[in-house]
C-alpha cells in the first residue's frame, strides 16, 4: 500500500457486535474519531460469570438501532454523509455477529454504500491509529514494520506487521488467552466479572512478590501459555481454603497479574529485538491493564502505541479505522457475506 498521506478522504461508519458490547462509531480517514458509542451488556452477564450467548444476541437487537443513531448524531452526520459501512464479520459469537452484519447490510442496501466485513482482531490493532477528532495534538501514527501484541478475552498473539493489512503471526497462546486467564482466576478469587479490572483493582493493595507463580517460557517459540499459571493459582487457593485461613486475595491477584505481565512483556520485547522493529502496538482488552501499560511505556528503547483506555476493550471506532484501510484498498463485500465465528488474522 502507498503512504497514508495519499489515501483519499472517507468517513466510515463502524459497527461492532462480536461479543457483549453493541457499538457504533464514525471515523474519518482511518484515524479521527468523530463519535464512539458503546452500549455494554456487562451487568446482564455478570450473574452468569461470563457472556451468555443468547442473551448477548438478543440485547444487540434491542440496542443496535439506537447506538447507530447516537453515533451519527454525535458526529453531526446522517447516513448520506457516510462513505462506507465497516462491520465486524468475526471472530466472535455467531448470533451476536449476525445482528451487526445484517444491520450493516440493511444500511448498505438502503443507501447504496459499500459493505466492508472486518476481522475483529485487526480492529484491535487499528485502535492504535485512532484518536478523538477534538484532540489538541494528533498522536504519532504507527510506522511499519511493527510488532503487535494482541491481548483480549479470546486471543493472545504476536504479529509482525510489514505494512497496512499484512500480518504474519509469530506466535499465540497454546491454551487460555490472557484475558480468559484473568477472568478464570478472578472467579477462583471470588471477584466479579469481567476479571481483568477486578484483579487489577485487588492487586493495587497486594504484594506482587508474595507468591512465585510460574511463567511458561515456551522456549524456542513466540507462543504463550497461561493454563499452568491458572492451575498454580488454583492449587494455592485450595491449600489456603483447606487450612481454614482467609484468602489473601490482594496478594494472590498482584502475584498472578505480575506473572501474566512478565510473560507478555518479556516475549514481546525479545521478538521486537529479533525482528528489528522499533515500534510496538499493544492492543485488546488486556491492554487496559495498568501494570502491563507501565511496563511497556517504561521501555524507552521502543516507540510503544497503546490505545486510549476507552479504545482497549471492544468498540466500533477500531472497526471503522481498519475498514478505512480496506476501503482505500478496494475491498467491497457482497450482500450475501456470512459471519465468520472463527477467523484467524493471518
Ligand atoms: O478485547 P476485549 O474487550 O474482548 C475480546 O475481544 O475478547 O477483551 C476483554 C478481556 C476480558 O477478558 C477482560 O477481563 C480483559 O479484557 N480486561 C482486562 C482489563 N480490562 C479488560 N484485563 C486485565 N486488566 C484490565 N484492566
Ligand atoms: Zn475484542
Report yes or no on 346 lying in a domain: no
Strand order, beta sheet including 146-151:
166-172, 156-163, 146-151, 279-283, 303-305
Domain that holds residue 118: 4-130+310-328
Residue 83 and residue 219 in one domain: no
Report yes or no on 138 lying in a domain: no
All three cell numbers of 310? 476507552
Residue 64 and residue 113 in one domain: yes
pLDDT at 179 over 80: yes
Q: In this structure, are residues 141 and 4 in contact, taking their beta carbons and an 8 Å threshold?
A: yes
Report yes or no on 163 lying in a domain: yes
Over residues 128-132, the mean pLDDT reads 97
Q: Work out how many domains the chain is built from and give that number.
A: 2
Cell 512478590 -> residue: 209
pLDDT (0 to 100) of residue 42: 87
Packed helices 290-297 and 195-203: angle between N→C axes, nearest 10 degrees: 70
pLDDT at 10 over 80: yes
**Could you read off the pLDDT of 256-303 as tens digits, one per residue?**
999 999 999 999 999 999 999 999 999 999 999 999 999 999 988 999
Q: How far apart are CA 58 and CA 160, in angstroms?
A: 37
Q: How far apart are CA 266 and CA 296, in angstroms?
A: 10
Residue 267 and residue 324 in one domain: no
Over residues 102-127, the mean pLDDT reads 98
Q: In this structure, are residues 194 and 183 in contact, taking their beta carbons and an 8 Å threshold?
A: yes
Assign residue 157 a region (left: φ > 0; alpha: ψ between -120 and 50; beta: otherwise): beta
Ligand nearest to the CA of 203: 1
- Give the pocket of ligand 1 (CB within 6 Å): 19, 152-154, 179, 182-183, 194-197, 200, 284-286, 288-289, 313-314
Report yes or no on 177 lying in a domain: yes
pLDDT (0 to 100) of residue 46: 85
Ligand nearest to the CA of 182: 1
Report yes or no on 141 lying in a domain: no
Over residues 188-193, the mean pLDDT reads 95
Residue 60 and residue 150 in one domain: no
All three cell numbers of 76? 453531526
Cell 488486556 -> residue: 286
List all residues 6 or more positions away from 102 whose beta carbon is below 8 Å from its beta carbon: none
Residue 301 and residue 235 in one domain: yes
Dist. CA 90 → ligand 2 center (Å): 10
Residue 206 and residue 238 in one domain: yes
Residue 290 and residue 160 in one domain: yes
Report yes or no on 136 lying in a domain: no
List all residues 6 or more positions away from 343 whose beta carbon is below 8 Å from its beta carbon: 89, 90, 91, 119, 120
Over residues 78-83, the mean pLDDT reads 98
Dist. CA 211 → ligand 2 center (Å): 30
Assess whether the previous peptide bond of 203 is cis (omega < 30° from 0). Answer: no
β-sheet bridge partners, residue 213:
none
pLDDT (0 to 100) of residue 2: 43
pLDDT (0 to 100) of residue 5: 57
Q: How far apart are CA 295 and CA 14, in angstroms?
A: 31
Residue 152 and residue 234 in one domain: yes
Q: Which residue has a Cα nearest atom 1 of ligand 1? A: 285
pLDDT (0 to 100) of residue 3: 46
**Could you read off the pLDDT of 296-337 as tens digits, one per residue?**
999 889 999 999 999 999 999 999 999 999 999 999 999 999
Assign residue 322 a region (left: φ > 0; alpha: ψ between -120 and 50; beta: otherwise): alpha
CA distances from 218 to 95, 174, 267 (A): 35, 10, 9
Residue 300 and residue 314 in one domain: no
Report yes or no on 158 lying in a domain: yes
Over residues 141-155, the mean pLDDT reads 97
Task: Give the number of other Cβ atoms within 10 Å of residue 74's Cβ.
Answer: 15
pLDDT (0 to 100) of residue 7: 86
Ligand nearest to the CA of 319: 2
Report yes or no on 112 lying in a domain: yes
Residue 153 and residue 302 in one domain: yes
Question: What's this model's pTM, rounded to 2 decimal places?
Answer: 0.96
Residue 276 and residue 171 in one domain: yes
Dist. CA 303 → ligand 1 center (Å): 23
Assign residue 273 the CATH number of its domain: 3.30.420.40
pLDDT (0 to 100) of residue 50: 83
pLDDT (0 to 100) of residue 209: 98
Mutation to probe ligand 1, out of 286, 306, 341 (largest number of atoms < 8 A from CB): 286
Residue 207 and residue 87 in one domain: no
Phi, psi values for residue 144, rounded to 5°: -80, 155
Amino acid at each position: 500500500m502507498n503512504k497514508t498521506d495519499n489515501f483519499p478522504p472517507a468517513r466510515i461508519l463502524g459497527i461492532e457486535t462480536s461479543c457483549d458490547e453493541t457499538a457504533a462509531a464514525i471515523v474519518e480517514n482511518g484515524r479521527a474519531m468523530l463519535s464512539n458509542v458503546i452500549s455494554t451488556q456487562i451487568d446482564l452477564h455478570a450473574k452468569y460469570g461470563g457472556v451468555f450467548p443468547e442473551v448477548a444476541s438478543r440485547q444487540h437487537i434491542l440496542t443496535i438501532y439506537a447506538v447507530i443513531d447516537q453515533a451519527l448524531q454525535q458526529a453531526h452526520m446522517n447516513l448520506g454523509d457516510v462513505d462506507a459501512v465497516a462491520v465486524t464479520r468475526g471472530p466472535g459469537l455467531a448470533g451476536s455477529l449476525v445482528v451487526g452484519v445484517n444491520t450493516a447490510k440493511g444500511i448498505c442496501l438502503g443507501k447504496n454504500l459499500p459493505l466492508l466485513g472486518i476481522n475483529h482482531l485487526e480492529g484491535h490493532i487499528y485502535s492504535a491509529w485512532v484518536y478523538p477528532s477534538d484532540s489538541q495534538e494528533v498522536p504519532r501514527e504507527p510506522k511499519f514494520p511493527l510488532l503487535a501484541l494482541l491481548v483480549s478475552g479470546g486471543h493472545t498473539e504476536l504479529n509482525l506487521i510489514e505494512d497496512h493489512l499484512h500480518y504474519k503471526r509469530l506466535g499465540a497462546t497454546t491454551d487460555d488467552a490472557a484475558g480468559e486467564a484473568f477472568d478464570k482466576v478472578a472467579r477462583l478469587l471470588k471477584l466479579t466479572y469481567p476479571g481483568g479490572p477486578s484483579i487489577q483493582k485487588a492487586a493495587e493493595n497486594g504484594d506482587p512478590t508474595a507468591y512465585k507463580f510460574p511463567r511458561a517460557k515456551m522456549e524456542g517459540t513466540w507462543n504463550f501459555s497461561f493454563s499452568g499459571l491458572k492451575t498454580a493459582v488454583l492449587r494455592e487457593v485450595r491449600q489456603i481454603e483447606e487450612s481454614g485461613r482467609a484468602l489473601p486475595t490482594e496478594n494472590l491477584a498482584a502475584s498472578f497479574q505480575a506473572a501474566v505481565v512478565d510473560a507478555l512483556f518479556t516475549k514481546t520485547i525479545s521478538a521486537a529485538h529479533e525482528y528489528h522493529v522499533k515500534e510496538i502496538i499493544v492492543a485488546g482488552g488486556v491492554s487496559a491493564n495498568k501494570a502491563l501499560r507501565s511496563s511497556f511505556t517504561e521501555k524507552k528503547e521502543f516507540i510503544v502505541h497503546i490505545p486510549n483506555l476507552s479504545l482497549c476493550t471492544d468498540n466500533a471506532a477500531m472497526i471503522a479505522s481498519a475498514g478505512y484501510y480496506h476501503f482505500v484498498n478496494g475491498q467491497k463485500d457482497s450482500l450475501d457475506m456470512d459471519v465468520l465465528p472463527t477467523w484467524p488474522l493471518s
